[in-house]
Amino acid sequence: MTVNITIREQEILDGYVRAGVPIESARRYAREGATGEQVIREDAECVLPGCRERVDDVGQACADCIAAFGSYLVAVDREPMTTAAIAERDAGTRELYVRMLTPTDDTPAPTRRQNQTCWLCEQRRACTLVDDRWECDACAATDGELR
């Protein structure tokens, strides 16, 4: 069977497969990541946050999660979570992951220290770390021109 996918989707898929995500889930995550929209499935998914394996009933944990977490999973006497409740619970986490993975233009402030030896004039001054070398303000203002 041949499946047509974009190069971006293939790159995302390869990353998930290398990380050990089951192929069916990896395909879905890759499709969501490449298109930016969530793929809606009618069948139930594992109730544990971050796991999207199929289960028989909404609110159940999948076999892989049960095997991985074992005694940490405890049955409680209440109604299983609904699909809407699971989505509401995971919305904040999903939003946080999107913010964490979205590149920002926030560059850290340059590192400055007193009494460093400038690599250009070889004087001890207050310098800024530029490309792993200390550069004083006087030399930085010359833009590489010699006086």
Backbone φ and ψ for 62, nearest 5 degrees, come out as -80, 165
SS3 70: helix
Note the pLDDT of residue 85: 84
Same domain, 1 and 33: yes
Q: Is residue 50 part of a domain?
A: yes
For the chain, count helices (H), then strands (E).
Answer: 5, 3
What stretches of 4-128 show up as alpha helix (H) in DSSP? 7-18, 23-35, 63-69, 83-101
What is the share, in percent, of the chain residues with pLDDT greater than 90? 14
What stretches of 36-82 show up as alpha helix (H) in DSSP? 63-69
Range of the domain at 75: 41-101
How many separate domains does the chain show? 3
Same domain, 26 and 53: no
Same domain, 87 and 45: yes
Residue 1 has pLDDT above 60, yes or no: no
Predicted structure pTM score: 0.38
Average pLDDT value over all residues in the chain: 78
Q: Is residue 107 part of a domain?
A: no
